[in-house]
């Protein structure tokens, strides 16, 4: 499962997906963690169902939103974790290597 | 490249020291310990596990462990090591038997001024997603914190 996530996540796609006010608004609505339907996401906004659907597709493609079927409708949930966690993890390991190699450099060059 | 997804770490560093010197600092367990900040109990031997204790401040409770894969003199030194699920003292476990492992490779190349060292760590796809999260700098916020982060990000950017 982690392999599937890591292969799917592309930071550039993620940032592009979040660089849109409408999509950020959708993400904000989903940030409670509760699954929401298209109807729920459209309610109270000036957006059409089609527009919301289109934006959800972009968010799904970026791996930030997942959908599950519940009867006839799809429910959408926010999933920021794989992106943030993977990036953060690799950053941390990367920083540790930088420090270790800096120590190696002064060790062998002394 | 075996792994085109960016799910590995590659570091290159120019060292102003002869290849033989760098090789020794990598494969002599005492010298390795000096710069890596780990007190190792036994030499590196292909196919065998070397253990020790981390000396890095804040991580002294952690056991260091690696199994040497390859030792091609002055060319390639590699080992496989386990990942600890938690780094903080309270939850850390030194039992690495089912832990995901990554491969670390040190490649040496002679240059005009010394040695080009390339370090590659791969196999992060073996790390469960929830471990990646928990390994975050010891500040284990988990899912709730991630949601908060996103909310804050969204509020700031709306």
Tell me the domain boundaries of chain B.
8-125, 128-158
- pLDDT tens, residue by residue, B20-69: 999 999 999 999 999 999 999 999 999 999 999 999 888 899 999 999 99
pLDDT more than 70, % of chain B: 77
Question: How far is it, in rounded angstroms, from Cα B21 to Cα A108?
Answer: 7
pLDDT more than 90, % of chain B: 54
- pLDDT tens, residue by residue, A54-107: 999 999 887 889 999 988 889 999 887 655 666 677 788 888 899 999 999 999
Residues B8-125: name the CATH superfamily. START domain (3.30.530.20)
Please indicate if any CB of chain B lies within 8 Å of the CB of A3.
yes
- Quote helix, strand, coil % in chain B, to nearest 5: 25, 35, 40
Does the beta-carbon distance from A6 to B117 stay under 8 Å? no
Q: Long-range contacts of range B128-132, CB-CB < 8 Å, 24 or more positions apart? A: B128/A1, B128/A2, B128/B100, B129/A1, B129/A2, B129/A5, B129/A81, B129/A82, B129/A85, B129/A86, B131/B83, B131/B85, B131/B100, B132/A2, B132/A85, B132/A86, B132/A88, B132/A89
Does the beta-carbon distance from A2 to B125 stay under 8 Å? yes
Q: Which two tokens stand for residue A25?
A: 């608004």
Does the beta-carbon distance from A90 to B155 stay under 8 Å? no
Nearest by CB to B7, from A6, A105, A109: name it: A6
Residue B139 has pLDDT above 60, yes or no: no
The shortest C-alpha distance from B48 to chain A (Å) reads: 23
The predicted complex's ipTM stands at 0.75
Q: Domain A2-79, CATH 1.10.10.10 — does that match? A: yes
């Amino acid at each position: 499962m982690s392999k599937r996530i890591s292969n799917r996540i592309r930071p550039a796609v993620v940032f592009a997906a979040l660089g849109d006010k409408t999509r950020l608004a959708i993400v904000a609505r989903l940030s409670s963690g509760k699954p929401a339907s298209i109807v729920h996401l459209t309610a109270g906004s000036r957006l059409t169902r089609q527009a919301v659907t289109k934006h959800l597709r972009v968010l799904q493609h970026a791996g930030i939103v997942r959908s599950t079927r519940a009867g006839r409708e799809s429910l959408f949930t926010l999933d920021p974790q794989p992106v943030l966690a993977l990036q953060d993890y690799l950053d941390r390991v990367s920083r540790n290597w930088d420090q270790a190699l800096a120590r190696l450099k002064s060790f062998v060059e002394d | 490249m075996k792994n085109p997804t960016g799910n590995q770490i590659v570091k290159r560093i120019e060292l102003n020291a002869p290849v033989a010197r760098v090789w020794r600092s990598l494969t002599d367990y005492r010298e390795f310990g000096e710069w890596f900040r780990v007190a190792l109990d036994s030499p590196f031997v292909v196919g065998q596990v070397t253990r020790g204790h981390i000396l890095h401040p804040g991580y002294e409770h952690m056991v260091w462990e690696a199994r040497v894969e390859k030792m091609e003199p002055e060319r390639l030194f590699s080992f496989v090591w386990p990942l600890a699920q938690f780094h903080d003292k309270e939850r850390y476990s030194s039992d690495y038997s089912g832990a995901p492992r990554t491969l670390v490779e040190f490649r040496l190349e002679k240059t005009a001024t010394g040695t080009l060292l390339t370090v590659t760590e791969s196999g992060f796809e073996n790390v469960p997603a929830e471990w990646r999260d928990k390994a975050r700098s010891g500040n284990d916020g988990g899912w709730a914190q991630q949601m908060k982060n996103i909310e804050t990000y969204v509020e700031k950017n709306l």
